[in-house]
A = this chain, B = another copy of it.
Amino acid sequence: MRDGYSDALGNLVDQLAKLPGIGRKSAQRLAFHILKQPDKEARLLADAIVEAKEKIRYCKLCYNLTDQELCPICSNPDRDSSTICVVEDARDVLALERANQFHGLYHVLHGAISPMDGIGPEQLKIKELLQRLQEHPAEEVIIATNTSIEGEATAMYLSNLLKPLGIRVTRIAQGLPVGGDIQYADEVTLARAFEGRWEI
């Protein structure tokens, strides 16, 4: 018994508290909720965790998460395979798909170059990108890494790597977010918004 919990309850709270953004209080609330639910509901959650871990793997082309050999985007013949959008994380694919603006294929790096955290180009899916471009040449690579220092460094690195191969390399635009207030925008964003200004 820990914290006045029985062992099985304490263990559930411990496991839930390991999840990101879930403190002990939230873990406790979730655990009590799970205990109050019908057995079937709790079993559905436990099974979903195990099944996802068992089935989900990387798409062998773009390294997005999928339960097939190729992810639904790479295996969709309607997508434009001449354009590849490079992102840091599989969640970025979801966000960009929601924007419904891009109809090419993706490439997920699974991180960004960050010497401080010991992450160099070899830890990312960069050689896989080069290999992919050799096998399936593309006309344009759009670099949609985050606009953080690490994302920018990664964009620069990729650009230096890909341009000599004769591929058009572009970077997503930076500026004021839609609905953004100039008076609340930070200076760097404002500077970028000026740099990237276009004729109306």
Hey, which bits of chain A sit against chain B, CB under 8 A?
A: 1, 3-9, 11-12, 14-16, 18-22, 26, 28-35, 39, 41-56, 65-68, 71-73, 89-91, 93-94, 97-98
Contacts and interface: CB of A to CB of B under 8 A. Distances in A.
Residue in A16, A29, A49, A97 whose Cβ sees the most chain B Cβ within 10 Å: A49
A52 B9 contact: yes
Given A33-B20, A49-B45, A9 B39 contact: no
Contacts of A91: 28-29, 32
B52 A8 contact: yes
A52 B11 contact: yes
A4 B43 contact: no
A20 B9 contact: no
Contact of A94 (B19, B28, B39, B43): B28
A20 B94 CA distance: 24
Nearest to A95: B4
Contacts of A98: 3-4
A52 B68 contact: no
16 contacts: A4-B73, A6-B65, A6-B66, A8-B55, A11-B48, A15-B48, A16-B45, A16-B48, A19-B33, A31-B52, A32-B90, A39-B53, A42-B50, A42-B53, A46-B47, A46-B49
